[in-house]
Amino acid sequence: MRFFVSSVLSVSSVIKKIENNTMHSMDFLYRDTPRHSDRAAVAALLERTGFFRPDEVAVAVELLDEHLAKGTASGYYFWFADAPDAADSLVGYVCYGPTPCTVGSFDLYWIAVDTSRQGRGTGRALARKAEASAAAMGGRRMYVETSGRELYAPTQRFYRSAGYAEAARLADFYDDGDDKIIFQKILSQRNQGQKGSGSGI
């Protein structure tokens, strides 16, 4: 199955400018600077969702470690949502970054919201902040991958409701009966005329 959004969604028109690194919205405090305390908080958050295996949680923490060690040179960027009554109380987070060897393509690697805090628009707010940040860095498209299993139906609905369209489906990618679905969202039409990478031969 394959379909695309009919109109271009300009994130920059929704969020004109990211003025500072800390923002208040949707009753939560948002920041884009990781802390060392986020390592344990992110692991605990992902474990509570019940969606991820221990090895997957470990990968998420590794990406955070890469940023803590190398900063933006790691290629991994973050937004975090903290509870306003406790700055150390992580409510949700998103990890994204430019796709290597592309011009203007970005990957949304991780996005999760604590199960007790869902339904308040936090996931949508985190996604929009990541999209706006990517667009500000010259991003044209944001890609995200998820499972085709029924367990992930709410995740698939979330991406579709946030303006993502299914770009590809790889049958049995994760396991028999567990497809990989690749969603994409157009952030900007800038650089559309630039030539992409070729075969090199």
Q: CATH no. for residue 77?
A: 3.40.630.30
What's the CA gap between 88 and 92, in Å, rounded?
12
What are the DSSP E strand ranges found in 8-164?
Answer: 22-25, 28-31, 77-82, 90-98, 105-113, 141-147
> Residues 41, 31: contact at Cβ < 8 Å?
no
pLDDT at 201 over 80: no
34 assigned to some structural domain? yes
Q: Percent of the chain scored above 90 by pLDDT?
A: 68
| Cβ atoms < 10 Å from Cβ of 82 | 21
The parent domain of residue 154 ranges over: 11-186
> Residues 15, 129: contact at Cβ < 8 Å?
yes
* pLDDT for position 86: 62
Per-residue model confidence as pLDDT tens digits over 95-139: 999 999 999 999 999 999 998 888 778 999 999 999 999 999 999
29 assigned to some structural domain? yes
Does the pTM of the predicted model rise above 0.75?
Answer: yes
The phi and psi torsions of 81 (rounded to 5 degrees) equal: -115, 120
27 assigned to some structural domain? yes
| Cβ atoms < 10 Å from Cβ of 139 | 28
Q: Is 160 strand, coil or helix?
A: helix
195 assigned to some structural domain? no
50 assigned to some structural domain? yes
Q: How many domains does the structure of the chain reveal?
A: 1
pLDDT at 25 over 50: no
32 assigned to some structural domain? yes
pLDDT at 61 over 50: yes
pLDDT at 14 over 80: no
Over range 64-91, report the average pLDDT.
90
3 assigned to some structural domain? no
